[in-house]
Chains A and B, each alone.
Chain A
């Protein structure tokens, strides 16, 4: 009974003080329209914004996004995509390293960090038709909901691709410069090689300089904000306002007794004699 009371108390406390969401990544670069969905609300993404577990990442037309996760993995999301950060766990002390993403639509590129080369680590991207799991590699995956087809391209290392029809089988393993597709209700196609030109084209979409020019010297130059004016463009110094008068005269000065009466009467800062 006492244990049940404690359990109830703990449950109430958890309800009263929800655990703070853990930041698992950071927006490193973005371009165009990019939103982050959290707790049912969408907000515009910003450079440096934290990414939390459960967040949804949505890009609009010409929208692009690059996220660096706590395990140093990099996720680049192409335009008109929707990705859910289902799980992101990184604890080097216990060798727990897991990343699970859902690609609802669109295309993403993952540069998976070396941590995923360790036993027990797992990095997976799931679409409506396939799941791609990798260990220490780079790959792209796209899903077109209209055709219900997933395409996976390997850029280095190995990617294991399964159809959702058969997630426990050996699936298909693609290596560098190979691709496979998984249509709805079908198994992955046999890997086929692609040439270097195609490879570069695929990567180009993920390499970009962010919109808004956050890093540009032109946008961040202090003169743009009016905070600084380079010396050549500063106002020439005003001529000093010094009067030749000794101020109000006082005859006593003439025999060396006292200075001019109220010598500041000229209203000038500066020297009077």
Chain B
């Protein structure tokens, strides 16, 4: 009888306490939900914290705290809550789904699979669970199963068609099913071209094209130009500094071929050869021939593009040996999402004039610079600014007193503007200012200020042919009258790529 009395008293004391706690918890939970849905996650978390504190057994308050923590980026806290929820109520498939998603987000792919499979069995969560299950399996390289889950997600919920198709394409790409990958990526691009997923799908297509392009590439260009002031000493005749002050029309031929010796997903090694010939109609002594074998390694690593190019050129002037030149050119670029690109480079150049008249100019030139592109809409429409420093360091050649006549330090700033018009007409306008300070003693204090303007318009005629028209203006002001000159070139060129 006494025991019964104690039990009655205890139940009278305990039951209201449990009910009170639960009531408070659920009230705080509801208040938290209002804050949550209004996007005030910190405030919501505060209320869900209080709700859980009021009744630790309230799985719903703990669930909502878990998803709020997830929104606030506290995935560890979210996983802890959702695990506790599932331990208390194993059949709460909503919590299983969210736990699986949080585990995928934290890279615990293997742990994510059981809760996602549980959620997948629930018709309401099947599509979402299949998508994230596929992602977990894809990351674990279980690609065949992942692909089946992506297809299932797309079939179960039309709202998930774009991400499921994207991921199915990724799975195809990784397995080397290129045709299927192209088909799925194209579907994503067509459905959602302006979304991040659409842009990534487009980038995949570009990558596939790049990987599938032939190992041999070549182009040839034939151009005609009119030069108001041909600048270079004609072969066999020394006119220092080589400014003819004569105009001439001319033709140019440029042939270039490359062969990809090695090509990986993130880098390629190319060997190339270029042949160039200019033919002046009136000033044949200025005709220049160049044979230029080259090698370049280009690639990407993390956020960077990188490359190093090496090139050897052997020049003939009017058929006579003129110059041999070596360039080494390492550079890096940083593609900045969709808004721009930064580049930095260094170039070392060694020139060895074979024409004795020019031996005084044998030497090294070191240049380093940076360039920043800002895309206006697409990479085809841009504004660019750049700076370059270069230092010309002639070797001590004969005669000694002239050795450093051409030694200088130069600074160049440039701006450019590119725009793609309808009908694929691309254009470029650029301006640069180059300032050179020559060796005071050897050049008698020569100072040059060089202004250059470039305008270019180019239009593809078909897949292989491009027509280009250009104007180049060069206005050099020097305190040495020998080097004052103006030069304008108009050119038109037809380029063939294959």
Contact = CB atoms under 8 A, between A and B. Distances in A.
Interface in A219-265: 219-221, 223-230, 232-240, 242-245, 248-249, 251-252, 254-259, 261-265
A70 to B, nearest CB: 11
B300 A237 contact: yes
B493 A265 contact: yes
A209 interface: yes
Contact of B101 (A155, A217, A258, A265): A217
Nearest to B349: A273
Contacts, number: 286
Interface stretch (B25-33, B395-403, B439-447): B25-33
Please indicate which of the listed interface residues A220, A229, A270 has the most CB atoms of chain B within 10 Å of its own CB: A229
Interface in B155-176: 159-160, 162-163, 166-167, 170
B458 A265 contact: yes
Indicate the size class of the contact surface on chain A: 35 or more
Interface string B165-206: 011001000000000000000001000100111101101101
A206 B23 CA distance: 11
A204 to B, nearest CB: 10
B30 A28 contact: yes
A72 interface: yes
B267 interface: yes
A28 B60 CA distance: 14
Given A72-B27, A226-B196, A264-B454, A176 B16 contact: yes
Interface in A152-175: 155-156
B347 interface: yes
B480 to A, nearest CB: 13
Given A256-B406, A265-B470, A233 B138 contact: yes
A198 B286 CA distance: 104
Interface in B14-48: 15-16, 18-20, 22-23, 26-27, 30-31, 33-34, 36-38
B204 A235 contact: yes
A213 interface: yes
Interface string A26-51: 10110000000000000000011000
Given A216-B94, A245-B274, A262-B491, A68 B34 contact: yes
B258 A244 contact: yes
B472 A47 contact: no
Contacts of B288: 249, 251, 254
B486 to A, nearest CB: 11
A47 B132 contact: no
Contacts of B124: 211
Contact of B166 (A213, A229, A261): A229
A140 to B, nearest CB: 12
B37 A240 contact: no
B364 interface: no
A226 B170 contact: no
Nearest to A216: B98
A208 B59 CA distance: 10
B491 A111 contact: no
A244 B129 contact: no
Contact of B15 (A176, A219, A235, A236): A176
B446 to A, nearest CB: 12
Interface residues of B, number: 143
A261 B19 contact: no
Contacts of A92: none
Nearest to A154: B19
Interface in B315-347: 315, 317, 322-323, 325, 327, 329, 331, 333, 335, 341, 343, 345, 347
A226 B207 contact: no
B454 A244 contact: no
Contacts of A52: none
Interface of B: 15-16, 18-20, 22-23, 26-27, 30-31, 33-34, 36-38, 58, 60, 63-64, 67-68, 70-71, 78, 92, 94, 97-98, 100-102, 105, 124-125, 128-129, 131-132, 135, 138-139, 159-160, 162-163, 166-167, 170, 188, 192, 195-198, 200-201, 203-204, 206-207, 210, 221, 223, 225, 231-233, 241-243, 252, 254, 256, 258, 265-268, 270, 272, 274, 276, 278, 286, 288, 290, 294-296, 298-300, 305, 307, 309, 311, 315, 317, 322-323, 325, 327, 329, 331, 333, 335, 341, 343, 345, 347, 351, 358, 361, 365, 371, 373, 379, 382, 392, 406, 416, 418, 426, 428, 430, 432, 450, 452, 454, 456, 458, 466, 468, 470-472, 474, 476, 487, 489, 491, 493
Given A177-B19, A242-B307, 17 more contacts: A68-B31, A203-B26, A215-B64, A221-B101, A226-B192, A229-B166, A234-B200, A235-B207, A239-B298, A242-B296, A248-B254, A249-B278, A251-B231, A251-B278, A254-B288, A254-B315, A271-B371
Interface of A: 26, 28-29, 47-48, 66, 68, 72, 74, 111, 113, 138, 155-156, 176-177, 196, 199, 203, 206-209, 211, 213-221, 223-230, 232-240, 242-245, 248-249, 251-252, 254-259, 261-265, 267, 269-271, 273
